[in-house]
Chain A
Amino acid sequence: MGEETTKKEEEEFEPKIVGFTCNWCTYAAADLAGTSRKKYPPNSRIIRLMCSARLDPMFVLKALLNGADGVFFSGCHPGECHYIKGNYYARRRIAAIRTILKQLGLDNRFKSYWISASEGEKFANTMKGLTEEIKELGPSPLRGKIL
């Protein structure tokens, strides 16, 4: 019985995911996924930043503290940044974020990708894969906790 209910709970678990994207590449890719009607799970909420360089580690932490089960970031491929070096900075930030999250045991809930404006299919597939991955992980330990 007990097992069954947990299984059922797992099946019904719909993760909440927050994504940060840059305006020029990944946000455009998400638009392209839309124009080509590529369906993907509804679990992610996207926050548009102009450039990946604006990704502040605090944003990621805040999202997790708010109870997000997963957080992702995606920007232009390295070398294709609209603001020249933005995504290099973002890469360094991401490494820093990971170090912090590792200490909290949350680093598997933070993913980063490079998706360019023409990769609508990749965006949709990434959303599918990510949602599955976070489902596997189950609800965030911080979910529902007021911190």
Chain B
Amino acid sequence: MGIAVIGGGVAGITAALDLADSGYKVHLIEKNAELGGKMEELAECQMGLSPYIAKVENHPNINLMLSSELERLSGTAGDFKLSVSGNEVGVESVVLAPGYDIPEVAKSYGYGSPDVVVSLDFEGMLKAATVSETGELVRPSDGKRVKKLGFIKCVGSRCQENEICSTACCAYTAKEAWEVKERFPDIEIYIFYMDIRVFGKDEELVAELKDKYGVKYIRSRVPEVIPEEGALTVKFENLEKGTIEKLDLDMVVLAVGLLPSKTLSKLAEITGVKTDKYGYIETSLTSPLETSVPGILACGTATAPMKVRESVAQASGAALKAAGLSQRTEPIPGQEEHKYIEVGDELKTGVFICGCEGEIANSIDIPAVVERVSELKDVVYVNSETNTLQEAMDAIESGIVDQGLNRIVFAGQSPRECEDIVRDACAGAGLNPYLLEMVNLREQCAWVQGPKDATEAAVDMLKMAVERAKYLEEIPVERYPVIPKALVIGGGISGMNAALGIADAGYEVHLVDKGAELGGGLRESTELPGPGGEQAADVLKELVDKVTANERINVYTKVKEEKVVGRAGSFKAKIVAEGSAEDVEIEFGACVIATGARRDFVPEGYFGYGKEKNVTTVSEFVKMLAGKLDANTIALIQDVPGEGVTARYSSIEVVDSALKAKEKNPDANVFVLYQDIKTYGKWEVLYKDAREKGVIFLRYDKEKPPKYEDGIVSVYDVIFNDEIQIKPDLVVLSTPAMPAEANERLSEMFRIPLKNGFFMEKPERPKMVLTPVDTVNEGVFICGSAVYPAMIDECLAMSSAAASRACVLLAKDFLETPAMTSVVDEEICVGCGVCEAICPVEAIELTEEPVPVVTFGVTTVVGRTKKVAKVGEGCIGCGSCASYCPSSAMSLKYFRDKQVYAQLDYAV
């Protein structure tokens, strides 16, 4: 049968693709006429999503149902019957991804004045400014350039109508401010906020905005916006200074929150899934993807407000769970063996110039370019009729099949956006995909140059490409079998969950941990945060039992993994037991890294920690809460400086334990000293509850951290604007989380870069993450706190996502060898070893080879050997060896010297 995915936003698209790519039939149901959801409206994001949309539209395993809505659902897991806009669909499982809607803004904050806009509309304005004549950001009311811009955060969130925090708005406001500053450096920006709830990269972005871009973050209570003739006056209470101030601005953006999709209540009624009291699909801390109805999974902003990164992690995870209930029925695309046509000596170059829906045609005189390109030698065909990528692909295919073209030059959008798609089109038509040369006419020509210059530049760029195409060669693509096994490193909650996910999908898993027992960091915890009161031990026990009982999972404890070789689909490694010389060699097709984070940072000396016995850390305090608590005054200190990063759960843990202390001992004075309380999403109610129950929150400035002397904590509170002194019985320090010790070693072994010691995902667009568990090393996935210290629900979703991505790969029977690798010309190689020393992945080995029989006049030299370099399987195609080889024996395929020289000959 198959799987129904409801909602075609970024979450729905991700779930559909993971499923379809691993051979499941997917019915993707979207109520709008187009895919993309809210991301289509976001300035910076739309582009990033377009290749994925193109993939969905052309996927043989996806039945795309646009402008369709679910009307009825009956049956149970394994056998659901859906009625979708009059069509009947039978599926085994369902993934709900109906997304979010933004709140209606009341006539507060001056909303109603044309110059006060909500953020989603502001994204639209940024997009419009991009393509407008002048490229300027102008005020809607009078078309004048914006000089002073304000953002008001938390609009429609953390308020009476919507108690919770919308999680994404702090970060997206930072992104919007960054985009404005990058493009219009003269615009002054003021951001009014209560807390800055950002993590990781976004935290760096906010710091950069403040320090480098001069964006003013103003901590204030709800500002008032008074529209007046030609200006907006913002009146606010400056909490830092304790004064009432006024500021005249040209435009104000309201950073509105995210609410459950308006369609959700009806959808819940039809499907029978429960919603929580905020209207989101109900899920839980320990099963973040499962709804109340077995067989129906949920993901993305329909479960809680979140960013794209978290939405897509949930989506991949939900896809894996849905797949577990379904049967694979479809072939996996790209698995058929390609037979490439013989390319003779005669060059037949075809040039395809795509208009890109007007983007290129508007600034480049395409007919003029065609005329000049047609005159070039070896160009036998020029096509400029296509307007979309799809049309261009069709044209290329028929050009190869009907006209016998054997070199393709494609000029259109950036190769970074579409090179793979164009390669597939060539391969599909039987042409070796490396006989293709791309010209970036859109991003690097049409969009950045005036019309006259653009046309000239386009001609030059095409000449370079046509010349280079002459020297392109067929690169043999070989297939190798995928080893249907996975290695999971780390036996914490994320690692175990990933292992179970992969094993349940039918693959063998090697699960390794350096510790003696499974469980990882969570073994140190007691009661989990939140009202659920679940015990960490129970959650762990359930997982450990499942893992140990699973026949497909081989658990290795007290071991270290070593000597990884190979590539996606076919890796080898050694597993070495601690203190033993013996090792086990394992083979695997994919690897999931889940090494977690360490909580053992010792704030030695800070507040007398280590010396004074009433100074402790939050993790120790949480354990104390399980017993009797005799402390009448407790001071919890957030953001204790130190190595490492602030975990996403840091504030939640502090607020939760403060609240629990207060509940346990209602007479106690519980203080929380903090810079920002980051109780994102639904955790906000915990913060509200804590305040209502009498926990006292004191905000301090980074420049004036609290002090502890003679048993007295003194803190300068920026809200009371006064120094406050507390004499606590107990001081509790919330310390940073640190990366696992193994990360450095694993980073080198698997070639995955680290940031602050944590693993980095594959970079996508500058400010957006669409593949949060994929890395630059294909076949190696990362998840959980090894990426960024996160809450259990997030670790579970992310590890299911990593398992899902691994399974997409393992589902394939074959993979193709990478094409852009180095080759050595053995005759020229003098065996100097320069390349061997320089290769970053040790892919080169010097071997002793017999020298072929050579005859010099009358003497024949035989039986000699010489050293030559051999490029092995691990080559990642960096090209170091090719540029360092002193005898030019080494070349990088597709970037050979003569290919680059050809471009150079036409570049000037």
In Å, the complex CA distance between A55 and B883 comes to 6
Q: Is the CB of B183 within 8 A of A53?
A: no
Which B residues lie within 8 Å of A39 (CB)? Answer: 448-450
Let me know if A68 and B444 touch, CB within 8 A: no
Tell yes or no: B876 within 8 A of A by CB.
yes
Inter-subunit contact B895/A50 (CB<8 Å): yes
Q: Which residue of B lies closest to A140 (CB)?
A: B908
Q: Are B414 and A63 in contact (CB under 8 A)?
A: no
Cβ contact within 8 Å between B447 and A34: yes
By the criterion CB–CB under 8 Å, are A85 and B766 in contact? no
Q: Which residues of A contact B880 (CB under 8 A)?
A: 51, 53-54, 83, 85-86, 89
Q: What distance in Å separates the Cβ of A20 from its nearest Cβ neighbour in chain B?
A: 9
Given A37-B131, A63-B908, check contact A93 B883 (CB 8 Å). yes
Nearest CB in chain B: distance from A75 CB, A: 11
Contacts of B903 in A (CB 8 A): 47
Q: Smallest CB–CB gap between B885 and chain A, Å?
A: 9
Question: Is the beta-carbon distance between B443 and A31 smaller than 8 angstroms?
Answer: yes
B878 in contact (CB, < 8 A): yes
B440 at the interface (CB under 8 A from A): yes
- Residue from B763, B882, B884, B900 within 8 A of A117 (CB atoms): B763
In the bound complex, do residue A31 and residue B444 qualify as a contact, i.e. CB atoms below 8 Å apart?
yes
Q: How far is the CB of A140 from chain B (nearest CB, A)?
A: 9
Residues of B within 8 A of A38 (CB): 183, 448
Q: Judging by beta carbons under 8 Å apart, are A35 and B447 in contact?
A: yes
B 415-451 to A, binary, CB cutoff 8 A, 1 in contact else 0: 1110000000000000000000000101110111110
Distance of A78 from chain B, by nearest CB (Å): 12
Contact B444 A34 (CB under 8 A): yes
A86 touches B840 (CB 8 A): yes
- Contacting residues of chain A (3-52) with chain B, CB-CB under 8 angstroms: 16, 18, 23-24, 27-28, 30-42, 45-51
| CB neighbours of B897 from chain A (8 A) | 56, 58
B270 on the interface (CB 8 Å rule)? no
Rounded to whole Å, the gap between the CB of A125 and the closest CB of chain B is 10
Within 8 A of B (CB), among A65-109: 66-68, 80-86, 89, 93
Within 8 A of A (CB), among B694-727: none
List chain A residues, Cβ under 8 A from B447.
Answer: 34-35, 37
Choice from A30, A34, A80 contacting B753 with Cβ under 8 Å: A80
| Pair B904/A62 contact, Cβ less than 8 Å | yes
Residues in B with CB closer than 8 Å to A16 are 907-908
- In the complex, whether A130 has a CB less than 8 A from a CB of chain B is no
CB–CB A37/B456 < 8 A: no
Contact B904 A59 (CB under 8 A): yes
How many Å lie between the Cα of A48 and that of B449 in the bound state?
A: 19
Q: Report A-chain residues with C-beta under 8 Å of the C-beta of B417.
A: 31
Nearest-neighbour CB distance to chain B for A60, whole angstroms, equals 10
Partner of A31, one of B416, B461, B883: B416
Rounded to whole angstroms, the CA-CA distance of A38 and B901 in the bound complex is: 29
Smallest Cβ-Cβ distance to B449: which chain A residue: A42
Query: Shortest distance in angstroms between A12's beta carbon and chain B's nearest beta carbon?
Result: 14
Interface contacts (Cβ under 8 Å), in number, total 149
Q: With both chains docked as a complex, state the minimum distance between the C-beta of B458 and any C-beta of chain A, in angstroms.
A: 10
Minimal Cβ-Cβ distance residue in B for A118: B766
Contacts of B766 in A (CB 8 A): 28, 32, 117-118, 120
**Please, which residue of chain B has its CB at the minimum distance from the CB of A68?**
B908
On whether the beta carbons of B753 and A47 are closer than 8 Å, the reply is no
B760, closest chain A residue (CB): A80
Q: Which residue of A lies closest to B455 (CB)?
A: A42
- Structural contact, A56 and B883, CB atoms closer than 8 A: yes
CA gap between A50 and B753 in the complex, in Å: 17
B879-A49 in contact (CB<8A): yes
Closest to B899 in A: A47
Q: Which residues of B contact A121 (CB under 8 A)?
A: 182-183, 185
* Known contacts A37-B130, A56-B897; A46 and B444 CB within 8 A of each other: yes
What chain A residues lie within 8 Å of B895 (beta carbons)? 49-50, 54
Residue contact B448 to A68, C-beta cutoff 8 Å? no
Within 8 A of B (CB), among A111-147: 117-118, 120-121, 124
* Contact yes or no, B444 A30, CB < 8 A: yes
Q: Would B878 and A30 count as touching, CB distance under 8 A?
A: no
Q: Report how far A63 CA is from B908 CA in the complex, Å.
A: 8
Could you give, for residues 165-189 of chain B, a 1 whenever the CB lies within 8 Å of some chain A CB and a 0 otherwise?
Answer: 0000000000000010011010000
* B453 adjacent to A54 (CB under 8 Å): no
The residue in chain A whose Cβ has the minimal distance to the Cβ of B135 is A37
Q: Tell me, yes or no, whether B51 is within 8 Å of chain A by CB.
A: no
State whether the Cβ of B460 lies closer than 8 Å to any Cβ in chain A.
Answer: yes
Q: Which of A18, A42, A63, A89: most chain B Cβ within 10 A?
A: A42
| Residues from chain B with Cβ under 8 Å of A51 in the complex | 877-880
Q: Which residues of A contact B884 (CB under 8 A)?
A: 89
Instruction: Say yes or no: A53-B448 contact (C-beta < 8 A), given A37-B135, A45-B460, A45-B464.
Output: no
Q: Chain B 131-143 against A: per-residue CB contact (8 Å), 1 yes, 0 no?
A: 1000100000000
CB neighbours (8 Å) of B765 from chain A are: 117
Contact call B182/A120, Cβ cutoff below 8 A = yes
In the bound assembly, the distance between CA atoms of A31 and B753 in angstroms comes to 23
A59-B900 CB under 8 A given contacts A83-B878, A124-B448? yes
CA distance A81 to B415 in the complex (A): 20
Chain B residues near A49 (CB-CB < 8 A): 879, 895, 900
Asked if A18 and B183 make an inter-chain contact with CB atoms under 8 angstroms apart, the answer reads no
* B832 touches A (CB below 8 Å): no
State in angstroms the CA–CA spacing of A118 and B882 once bound together: 29
Cβ contact within 8 Å between B448 and A33: yes
Cα distance A56–B897 in the bound complex, in angstroms: 9
Interchain CA distance A67-B840 in the complex, whole Å? 34
Docked-complex contact B450 and A84, CB < 8 angstroms: no
- Inter-chain CA distance A84–B763, complex, in Å, is 14
Whole-angstrom distance from the CB of A4 to the nearest CB of chain B? 26
Cβ of B179: which chain A residues have Cβ within 8 Å of it? Answer: 36
Report the minimal beta-carbon distance from B439 to chain A, rounded to whole angstroms: 11
Pair B415/A54 contact, Cβ less than 8 Å: no
Q: Which chain B residues border A27 with CB–CB below 8 Å?
A: 416
CA distance A124 to B883 in the complex (A): 28
A62: contacting residue among B453, B464, B901, CB under 8 A: B901
In the complex where A30-B444, A31-B440 touch, is A53 in contact with B879 (Cβ < 8 A)? yes
Which residues from B are CB-within-8-Å of A80? 753
Cβ–Cβ contact B453 & A42, under 8 A: yes
A36-B182, A42-B457 given; A54·B907 CB < 8 A: no
Mask: chain B, 875-897; 1 = CB below 8 Å from A; 0 = not:
01111101110000000100101
Among A34, A41, A47, A56, the most chain B Cβ lie within 10 Å of the Cβ of A34
Give Cα A41 to B457, complex, Å: 10
In angstroms, Cα B904 to Cα A66, docked, is 8
- B361 CB → nearest A CB, Å: 16
Q: Which residues of B contact A33 (CB under 8 A)?
A: 443, 448
Q: Mark B839-852, 1 if CB is under 8 A from A, else 0.
A: 01100000000000
Q: Which residue of chain A is the closest to B755 with respect to CB atoms?
A: A80
Q: How far is the CA of A16 from the CA of B456 in the complex (A)?
A: 13
Specify which of A31, A81, A85, A120 lies most central, judged by the most chain B CB atoms within 10 Å of its CB.
A31
With the chains together, A124 CA to B460 CA distance in Å?
20
A18 contacts B907, CB within 8 Å?
Answer: yes
Given known A42-B454, A86-B840, contact A50–B878 (CB-CB < 8 A) = yes
| Cα separation A30 to B416 with both chains bound (whole Å) | 11
Find A48's partner among B185, B415, B877, B901 (CB 8 Å cutoff): B415
Within 8 A of A (CB), among B617-643: none
Q: What is the CB-to-nearest-CB distance from A111 to chain B, in angstroms, rounded to a whole number?
A: 16
3 closest residue pairs by CB, A with B: A54-B879, A34-B443, A118-B766
Q: List 19 A-B contacts (CB under 8 A).
A: A27-B416, A35-B130, A36-B179, A36-B183, A37-B447, A42-B454, A42-B456, A45-B460, A47-B903, A48-B415, A49-B895, A54-B878, A57-B883, A63-B907, A66-B904, A68-B908, A83-B751, A85-B840, A89-B883
Given A34-B444, A37-B447: 4 more A-B contacts, CB < 8 Å: A31-B417, A37-B135, A50-B879, A89-B880
Q: Which residues of A contact B (CB under 8 A)?
A: 16, 18, 23-24, 27-28, 30-42, 45-51, 53-59, 62-63, 66-68, 80-86, 89, 93, 117-118, 120-121, 124
